[in-house]
Amino acid sequence: MVITGAGGGVMSSAQEGAGAERSFGLNIRLPFEQEANPWIADDPKLVSFKYFFTRKLFLVREAHAMAFLPGGFGTADEAFEALTLIQTGKSPVLPLVMLDEPGGTYWKTFDEFIRREMVGRDTVSPNDPDLYRVTDDVEQAAAVVEGFYRLYHSQRYVRDALVLRIRRPISTAALADLNARFADILSAPAEQAKGPIPGEGDELPDLPRLVLPFNRSGFSRLRTLLDFVNAS
């Protein structure tokens, strides 16, 4: 299922490719510029918003991955909104892909700005650029999203622990390596469980758990931890 802003250009192309039955459109009512694209215009899954902030909430809340393509102020607004929510733990860590045209420089320049000006001025952590991936290759962009869910399934907090639902347990050696590599964001060693831990109820009973005493601040490091888990 794809969710787009329901406009023209790449948004229209995404919905044409997915088909209306696999599309949601979140349109914004403006006195000029945007109208809903013809692939979603008459569909009941088209939702129109008066305010940008409520539209962004729905875009981020319902997404399992986000792809950003070159655009204007609205694109930058949505990209920074997603980054801010994930960086501060207000939204779960998701794969964020900044996808450019082949040979394009839009997102490469964006990445250079963040590293030079934000990291350089200590206004974001040196690890924060790890929250997103920059590419000009569609296949690589798809691989980032698919790789993120290779072993990882979902997450939730249970009291002071971040519980990762995973498709199979990782090895004892990989768990020891994880605890050594990511000790900076763990208050105690991570452990595994065969299924839901007390406090989860009966959610996803067939999936094993990786229980992290996570410090709830190093979310860019958590993104790297998830890459480690998926590669295990």
pLDDT tens for residues 26-70?
777 777 656 776 767 777 777 777 888 888 888 888 789 999 999
Terminal C-alpha separation, the chain: 28
CATH topology of domain 2-147: Rossmann fold (3.40.50)
Buried b (16+ CB within 10 A) or exposed e, 149-177: eebbeebeeeeebbbbbbeebbeeeebee
Residue appearing with tokens 């399992």: 64
Average pLDDT over residues 154-172: 95
What pLDDT sits at residue 56? 81
Beta bridge mates, 156:
163
pLDDT over 70 at 229, yes or no: yes
CA–CA separation, 12 and 105 (whole Å): 23
CA–CA separation, 23 and 1 (whole Å): 6
CA–CA separation, 110 and 108 (whole Å): 5
Q: pLDDT class for 125, splitting at 50, 70, 90?
A: very high
What pLDDT sits at residue 197? 94
If 0-12 CB within 10 Å is exposed, 13-18 middle and 19+ buried, where does residue 223 land? buried
Average pLDDT over residues 8-29: 72
What pLDDT sits at residue 35? 72
Diameter of the chain by CA atoms? 59
pLDDT over 70 at 165, yes or no: yes
What pLDDT sits at residue 172? 96
What pLDDT sits at residue 6? 61
Average pLDDT over residues 156-179: 96
DSSP string over 109-147: HHHHHIIIIIITTTSS-TTGGGGEEEES-HHHHHHHHHH
The pTM for the full model equals 0.85
Check: CB of residue 153 under 8 Å from CB of residue 166.
yes
Between residues 10 and 128, the one the model is more confident about: 128
